[in-house]
Structure 1
Amino acid sequence: MSKIFEAVAQWAGRQAGRASTFLAALALILLWGVSGPFFGFSDTWQLVINTGTTIITFLMVFLMQNTQNRDTRALQLKLDELIRATKGAQDQMISLEDSTEEQLDVLKRRFDTLRDAAG
């Protein structure tokens, strides 16, 4: 199930970011707006667009989070490799994203001290 979700999320994420998808959504909104007089701007007419956009927004949140998680993980791995391959780099920076808030606070204070001493 996870592999199917990943494949669908990647495909949907690519499609959602295309200009043609935006234009199709814009055309749908315009078509809905133009159809208003034919339906007397009824509550049902308004409910159609409200329900449709709510469902799409709800699903897009999960797709965007999946994309963000994947991108962040790839970026962290690339940074870890650069740190590992750089002489003199501090190995403790590798996988820093797995640190606790307290550990990050200690490291930030340490770097603030180094910055102040250098400048």
Structure 2
Amino acid sequence: MPSDVRPGLGWFDRFADRASRFFSQAWFFAFCVLLVVVWAPSFFVIGNLDTWQLIINTLTTIVTFLMVALLQNSQARSDAAVQDKLNAIADALAHLMSSSTRDTPELDKEITELRQAVGLEDRESSSS
């Protein structure tokens, strides 16, 4: 629920957020393409095919490993925020529906199901 949301982010979360914004820019993708274009003819400078492949494979593996960890952190926080918002909307809707049950008693079943669904989301959330 929204009252469970922490007001601030830790240092790693702030870092992951900035890194996510940095890596998602079009100019970063263009830089990566340029890096590959510059790297490809470097075979003629290095000359040894094994060393040439080892350099690019090592660099891309390290960068990919780090980026996946950072982007996964950002995605998990985003998913948790969306779930908290949906739970708040469902809770408010259930409250609104319960205030209207005097006029329509058949809403009682739907209110119960809605509140159970919100509780189910809280229990099954992978971020908890």
Which bracket does the TM-score occupy, shorter chain normalised?
A: 0.7 to 0.9
The reply to whether residue 92 of structure 1 matches residue 99 of structure 2 is: no
- The runs of 5 or more residues in structure 1 that have no matched partner are 101-119
- The runs of 5 or more residues in structure 2 that have no matched partner are 1-8, 98-109
Aligned letter for 1:29? V
Partner residue in 2 for 1:37: 44
Q: 1:57 to 1:95 in 2, by over 3 A?
A: farther
Contact 1:13/1:64 (<8 A) preserved: yes
Give aligned pairs, total. 99
SS in 1 for 2:57: helix
Correspondent of 2:69 among 45, 62, 68: 62
- Pairwise CA distance, 1:26: 0.8
Cα RMSD (Å) of the superposition? 1.8
Contact 1:76/1:95 (<8 A) preserved: no
Q: 1:13 to 1:33 in 2, by over 3 A?
A: same
Aligned letter for 1:70? R
Partner residue in 2 for 1:19: 26
**Structure with more relative contact order (C-alpha pairs < 8 Å, separation 6 or more):** 2
Q: 1:95 to 1:10 in 2, by over 3 A?
A: farther
Seq. identity, %: 40
Superposition TM-score, scaled by structure 1 size: 0.74
Partner residue in 1 for 2:84: 77
CA displacement, residues 18-67 of structure 1 (integer Å, 9 cap, x when unaligned): 10110011111111002111211532221110000000111112112101
Write out the 4+ residue segments of structure 1 that deviate beyond 6 Å after TM superposition: none
Superposition TM-score, scaled by structure 2 size: 0.69
Aligned letter for 1:6? D
Partner residue in 2 for 1:107: none
